[in-house]
Every structure is written in structure tokens, then in C-alpha cells.
Structure 1
Amino acid sequence: MSNKCIIFSVCALLLTTSFSGFAEKTFLVGADLTNPPFQFRNKDGNPDGFEIELTNALCKSENVKCIYVVNNFDAQIPALIARKVDFILPLGLTPKRQKAIDFTDYVFHLPTRLVAKKDSNIMPQVKSLKDKIIAVQQGSIQEAYAEKYWRPAGINIKNYQDPEAIYEDLVANRVDAALCPSVAVSYGFLKTHAGENFELKGPEVTDADLFSKGSAFGVRKGDYETKTLLNMGLDNIMRNTTFSNIQKKYFGDQDLKVK
């Protein structure tokens, strides 16, 4: 091989290496898009909502591309473990989930509340729930609570794949109440025309063994690179005005940050 050819080959290799070094990293993000205003499809069919905007801002701050992979909520963790996605949108850090996957730093906190018709005397207590049908989302911490405390007491628990189906059955009187994240049900249902006859009932429902202090992005066990990158991006949007601006857009002055 001539010296000229050798020089050309080396230069081509250097150019290829240089350009590949600048290639944008892509992450596949698990989402279910059935929980407005946190995540949903907009009128154009694209992912949208509070969590989507936060994730987009986080990815932008770290110069990575994020593509959403849509699946049912209760399929998010299995999809992550099976490497079908690189991380999943925020969910509560429950002890059970922490055995299966890792989490980033906290993103926000959502209290759990019972929602029912305004003229109903129903409360989140076993005695009040006798002979009632209570809706919960599959795979949620609300489902875990209802299955631990309410079903064994003889209360009818009905499981749903997504919140929108729960709201439809509340309006249609197919269930008497639903146990939900309060902020999600307030802005995704109670503030809509369909939910105008419903309200939150009783105090926040809590359980130290089941509920978490807050929600965070889910990552695979041992994936420290992704966890570190997400935490850096989260810290960036928390320190500047990005997080607070997106929060205000969807929830006004309500503060969702974990204290």
C-alpha cells in the first residue's frame, strides 16, 4: 500500500471516530400516556403532559434524544427489566418496586385520596366501604393498598388498566369510588365537565410499608450510567426555572416537590 493510501485510510478512520463520538445518544422511555395531565396523547397523537415536558427538558439539558415507548402501566417495570426501554417515567418508590428496579432522585410527590360523588357519604375506611365497589389502577400503589387492607375485609375491588377507564365507570355509576393519586384525579377528572359532580373524600390515605415519599424515574438495577445522567438532568431543571415553570403551567401554585 502506498504512503498516500495509508495516510488516506488513517484520516478516514479518524474522521469516522470523531463523528461517532459526537453521535447523539438515544434513550427509549417507557410511558403509558393514559394519565392526564401527567402523560397523555395530544390532539396530534403525540406524547404530552407534565411528565413528558419534564422528561423532554431533562433530556435536552443532557443533550440526549428520548423516544417514548407506549405500554400499559403495569407493563412498565417488566419492559424495563426486559431491556425494551432504558428508563420509565416517574412512579412511586415503594419497597416492592425497589427490589426489582432502581430509581433516580425524587421528582415529585402525589398524595393518595379517595374520590366519589359529592352527595355520597363514603370515606376511605373499611366500615364506610362495605358493599361498595372501589376502582384502582393495575400495578399502582393504590391497588396494593386496596388489596392489602380492603379486599380481605370483603370490599369489592375493581382493577383497571388506566385512569381514563376508571373515570368513565365513575360517571356511569359502575363503581362507587376510586382510590387515586389526588393531583392526577383532580386535574385529570375533577376539573373537567365529566367530574363536576365528584370530589375527594376524607384525608390522605397512607401506609409506610406500601407508599413512598415521592415518585422518581425507574432504571434497571446496576445501570448507574443512566441513573447518573438522569439525576444530573433533574438537578439542572430543578435548579433553574424549568421545573417550576412546567409545574406552574399544569398545576398553578401547587407545589409537587418532595420536601
Structure 2
Amino acid sequence: MKNLIIAAAVASLTAGAAFAQDTIRLGTEGAYPPFNFVNDSGEVDGFERELGDELCKRAELTCTWVTNEWDSIIPNLTSGNYDAIIAGMSITEERKKDIDFTSNYTQPDPSSYVVAREGVDLTSPDTIVAAQASTIQSSHVASSGATLLEFPTPEETMAAVRNGEADAVLSDKAYAVPVTEEDDGLMIVGDDILLGEGMALGIRKSDTELNKKFSDAIDEMKDDGTLNALIDKWLEGAAKF
């Protein structure tokens, strides 16, 4: 029995050492500016790239970046294709059934409707509202009274309004603002809508140590003001801590 206890202790220490040395793979969509996107050099860029790199530095972790389509981003985390999601993902009760979340790194984020013409009734069943599939925005549209039209990517939701396939889009305001600034044919209408509990890294339920490392780093960035500085840099008009 004594030998078994010693062996178990050694195995535990070895596992801890292996965790400290392993490369942590950060999964993101790479298609949701300004949160995350792939730049002209083919590298992940944006608010979450800068944030993720800083979190890994503070947590003393070696990290690499992996891009993954949004609609399979949680299944590919739970199956082990990467170790954390940092992809503009809001904390929701539904997602908590499958994964855990770190401390939030944004406040509950405002969402906005984008239209190509004035006077759209955003709650009529005759109104088609586009949203990216499996997002808090698509859930909101589904319960709003309007007809939901889902797309795999945010770009496709905006294209649907441009070509008349949809009457409006509901998306994160931080995504909608630069799109409407670059496209005179699109405009934001109505008041901001606060959804979710803020954005955070998604972590497998079994990875409690990794969750704590990232949460501690996020909380440290909140306390020293560096998180607010990143929000100012990348997320126009977003609430700060």
C-alpha cells in the first residue's frame, strides 16, 4: 500500500510538471473583427490575440493559436483539438452545460441591429433578421417575434442584408460599428441590447488548473488597468471594468 501511495504521489507531481511545460493551444474563429481575425500575414490578430498573448505571458504558459469554424468550436474543445476557446464567446447558461468559463474579460456586450433601410419592424414575424448561428444574438432573435435566418459566419449575415435576403442583422455592436462605418448602405438602428454575462475563455470542465491560471491573469489585468487599455484600443464604445 505504501508503494502505491508513493507511486501515486510521483504520478501527481509528474502530471503537474507536464502541464507546466505543455504548449496550450488557443482556439479562435479568426473571422470576427475586431475581436479576432486573420491579418494580411496570415496570423491571428485583434483584441483577443493581444489579450490571449498577454494572459499566457502572465500565466507563464507557452501558447499557440488555432483557428476553427464557429459552429464546431465547442465540440472541438471538448474533443481535445485545443485547450481553450478565446473567440468572442459570451458566457451563457446553455454553454455552461458543456464547458466552464474563466473570469469574464468583457462586460455584457451590447448588440445592435443593422439595416439597409429605415422603418424595419424588428419584432414582426414578417421581418427576417439574420444572425450568426449558435450565438446569443440568434437566440435573442428567435425569441423576439421576428423570423430568424442563421448563417455560419458574420460576413454572411451582413451580405444577406445587402442583397435583400434579410431585413436586418443582429450582431455584437463592436462588430457592427466598423462594418457600418465602411458601408454607407448599412446603418445601426434602435437601442443597444445587452445579452449574456460578458465574454470569457471557454475551458474543458476537467481543466480546473488551467481555468484558474487564466482567471487569475484576467483578474490581474482588471486590477492594473491593462484590460481597460485593450478595450479602449480595440472595442469602440464597449463598457470597461
2:5 aligns to what?
A: none
1:101 aligns to what?
A: 99
Counterpart check, 1:173 vs 2:156: no
Give how far 1:23 is off. Answer: 7.0
2:240 aligns to what?
A: 257
2:113 aligns to what?
A: 114
- From 192, 211, 214, the counterpart of 1:230: 214
Deviation by residue 1:152-206 (Cα, 9 ceiling, x = unmatched): xxx432111111122222222222101111122113x1222x2x23222222335
Unaligned runs of 5+ in 2: 1-13
Aligned AA (2:25): L
* Residues in 2 aligned to 1:103 and 1:202: alpha-carbon distance in whole angstroms: 31
* Residues in 1 aligned to 2:97 and 2:141: alpha-carbon distance in whole angstroms: 21
Deviation by residue 1:208-227 (Cα, 9 ceiling, x = unmatched): xxx42211111111321111
Counterpart check, 1:67 vs 2:58: no
1:51 aligns to what?
A: 48
2:181 aligns to what?
A: 191
Deviation by residue 1:34-81 (Cα, 9 ceiling, x = unmatched): 111110011111000111111111111222122122111121111111
2:129 aligns to what?
A: 134
- From 219, 241, 252, the counterpart of 2:203: 219
- From 128, 139, 142, the counterpart of 1:147: 142
* Residues in 2 aligned to 1:84 and 1:22: alpha-carbon distance in whole angstroms: 16
2:193 aligns to what?
A: 205
Contact 2:130 2:157 in 1 (8 A): yes
User: Given the two structures, how large is their TM-score scaled by the length of structure 1?
Assistant: 0.78
| Partner secondary structure for residue 191 of structure 1 | helix
* Structure of greater Rg: 1
* Residues in 2 aligned to 1:30 and 1:256: alpha-carbon distance in whole angstroms: 25
| Partner secondary structure for residue 74 of structure 1 | helix
Give how far 1:24 is off. Answer: 4.2
User: Given the two structures, how large is their TM-score scaled by the length of structure 2?
Assistant: 0.84
Aligned AA (1:104): T
Contact 2:91 2:200 in 1 (8 A): yes
Counterpart check, 1:246 vs 2:241: no
* Residues in 2 aligned to 1:174 and 1:43: alpha-carbon distance in whole angstroms: 30
| Partner secondary structure for residue 100 of structure 1 | coil
Contact 1:114 1:123 in 2 (8 A): no
Closer, same or farther: CA 69–120 of 1 in aligned 2, 3 Å: same
Contact 1:30 1:87 in 2 (8 A): yes
Contact 1:122 1:201 in 2 (8 A): no
Aligned AA (1:57): E
| Partner secondary structure for residue 37 of structure 1 | coil
| Partner secondary structure for residue 210 of structure 2 | helix
* Residues in 2 aligned to 1:241 and 1:98: alpha-carbon distance in whole angstroms: 28
* Residues in 2 aligned to 1:32 and 1:63: alpha-carbon distance in whole angstroms: 24
| Partner secondary structure for residue 203 of structure 1 | strand
Aligned AA (1:237): M
* Residues in 2 aligned to 1:164 and 1:24: alpha-carbon distance in whole angstroms: 38
